[in-house]
Amino acid sequence: MKEKLQTAYQEITQHLNQELLPFWEAHGVDEIYGGYLTTFDENGREKEDEDKYIVTQTRMIWGYSAFARKLGHTEYLAKAKQGVEFFIRHFWDETNGGWYWKTTRDGSLLDNGKVVYGQTFAIYALAEYTLASGDAIGKEYACRTFELLQKYCADTRYGGYYENMEADWSISEPGFAAGDLKSLDIHMHTMEAFTTLYECTGEEIHKRKLQEVIGIILDHMVNREAGCGKNQFALDFQVKPAINIRRTWNAERETGEVIEAPTDTTSYGHNVELVWLLHRALEIMDMPMGTYQDIARKLMNHALKYGFDYQRGGVYRDGPQEGAPLVRDKEWWQNCESLIGFLDAYERFGDTKYLEAFWLNWKFDTDYMINHEVGEWRQLLREDGSILVPQIGNPWKAIYHSGRSMMECSLRLKRLLEQE
């Protein structure tokens, strides 16, 4: 197994340092208008008239900041700083507070909606920027955003957060606008954001709200018997069959298998991501695994039982809470996050089945998912590795999943090898 660890470390570190980071060094910053470019075809050519989304602008800020802080690329701080300046200048709502959803490439407003998903990525990115740079502007706006979520989005009746809001923070209409829904996805990323915010500020309120959202997820959004996350909920956390809703990746994806009728599904990638993000939150709060260990292992084992391709490697997209997957496409983000999750589980629990899953996952990714000539990951493949969507960038796909995966895996593999 040590030989596999060494091979994976060498391959992942090479991909990170010689392919992925150089691609974003060359193409990520919009030198004309500021902010970031994220939409590229399979050959790495940019789409010149692309719109800019809060999700990918913040993910790029986070990426350059995290690589500066954790990998020592301090030259990236200038790339992060100009992104923060563009983001505040064009996405901050001076009237109502909070961040708009989408602008044109030059920063002209296109969609003034407030989605907690986007607000939490602003917190995540801006807190990381301050941790990396020492520039207090990131912490200031991250804290202001946190306070707005508590004021307008906290559900004081049922707990958790309303997720889909209009520009004035009024709750959106039900149905496609999803004002009547809550989701595991958004609450998981709220946990992720509050973790980095607490790491940045050390403020007790940020820790307390982080603990609170962890409780909401594990008490209401996870099937503890089956060991998987649920998907969508009514405001009182009654499970609802999942539908595509406005301002989500599932509603905007270009192609691939789809589940036509509303269905109560689970995402294998989200389940594995949830586990390692939970571990990170506990680590930052200096809390032991304790009672969380049982559900963490169940979530991992469910993904391995139902969502993992042992023949070819790789993680499927979606399935029922128990039984065979419904959507067997393999998408970039699930396979990025699963790499971290499997390594994290091996580190935490010492079970070699997680390490073997990591190895098979990585071999599939490096053989099929990564476009090594360009330097980034393809968007979507069939289960056999044949290409469905070859683009290596879109308005939702930036440096976040691929870059974070390679950074986390490289650091973890180095640590594991040093322990051998």
Residues 304-355 pLDDT 10s: 999 999 999 999 999 999 999 999 999 999 999 999 999 999 999 999 999 9
Give the whole-angstrom CA distance, residue 332 versus residue 391: 11
List Cβ neighbours of 294 (8 Å cut-off, separation of 6 or more): none
- Mean pLDDT over all residues of the chain? 94
Decide: pTM greater than 0.75. yes
pLDDT at 1: 77
Which one, of 376, 416, 404, 388, lies nearest residue 46 by Cα?
Answer: 376
Give the whole-angstrom CA distance, residue 364 versus residue 335: 9
Q: Does 213 score more than 60 pLDDT?
A: yes
Q: What is the mean pLDDT of residues 194-223?
A: 98
- What burial letters (b/e) apply to 90-123, b meaning 16+ CB within 10 Å? bbebeeeebbbbbbebebeeebbbbbbbbbbbbb
Give yes or no for a contact between 59 and 83, defined as CB atoms under 8 angstroms apart.
no
H or E element in which residue 340 lies: helix 332-349
Report the phi/psi class of residue 114: left, alpha or beta, with left for phi > 0 and alpha for psi in -120 to 50: beta
Q: Encoding tokens for residue 293?
A: 């260990």
Phi, psi (deg, nearest 5) at residue 154? -70, 125
List Cβ neighbours of 5 (8 Å cut-off, separation of 6 or more): 355, 413, 416, 417, 420
Q: What is the mean pLDDT of residues 172-184?
A: 85
Give the whole-angstrom CA distance, residue 376 versus residue 10: 17
List Cβ neighbours of 241 (8 Å cut-off, separation of 6 or more): 232, 261, 262, 263, 264
Q: Does 212 score more than 90 pLDDT?
A: yes
Cα three-residue angle 383-389-393, rounded to 5 degrees: 125
Q: Per-residue pLDDT tens for 250-293? A: 656 666 555 555 567 899 999 999 999 999 999 999 999 898 99
Q: Does 208 score more than 90 pLDDT?
A: yes
368, exposed or middle or buried, with CB in 10 Å at 0-12, 13-18, 19+?
Answer: buried
Give the whole-angstrom CA distance, residue 49 versus residue 392: 17
Q: Does 201 score more than 80 pLDDT?
A: yes
Which one, of 82, 41, 75, 44, lies nearest residue 60 by Cα?
Answer: 82
Q: Encoding tokens for residue 245?
A: 């809703």
CATH fold of 2-419: Glycosyltransferase (1.50.10)
List Cβ neighbours of 211 (8 Å cut-off, separation of 6 or more): 285
pLDDT at 192: 98
Confidence of residue 173 (pLDDT cuts 50, 70, 90): confident
pLDDT at 252: 63
List Cβ neighbours of 406 (8 Å cut-off, separation of 6 or more): 12, 15, 16, 20
Which one, of 287, 415, 281, 273, lies nearest residue 347 by Cα?
Answer: 415
Give the whole-angstrom CA distance, residue 40 versus residue 6: 32
Q: What is the mean pLDDT of residues 111-122?
A: 96
As a residue count, the chain comes to: 420
Q: What is the mean pLDDT of residues 32-48?
A: 94
Chain position carrying tokens 């580190």: 347
Give the whole-angstrom CA distance, residue 105 versus residue 33: 7
pLDDT at 98: 98
pLDDT at 174: 80
Give yes or no for a contact between 395 and 51, defined as CB atoms under 8 angstroms apart.
yes
Give the whole-angstrom CA distance, residue 378 versus residue 387: 8
Q: Per-residue pLDDT tens for 345-397? A: 999 999 999 999 999 999 999 999 999 999 999 999 999 999 999 999 999 89
Instruction: Give pairs for 370-374: CB < 8 Å, separation 24+.
Output: 370/15, 370/19, 371/42, 372/15, 372/19, 374/23, 374/40, 374/42, 374/43, 374/44
Give the whole-angstrom CA distance, residue 132 versus residue 75: 11
Q: What is the mean pLDDT of residues 8-19?
A: 98
pLDDT at 2: 84
Q: What is the mean pLDDT of residues 107-126?
A: 97
Give the whole-angstrom CA distance, residue 167 versus residue 321: 35
Instruction: Provide the greatest CA pair distance for the chain.
Output: 58
3-state secondary structure of 173: coil
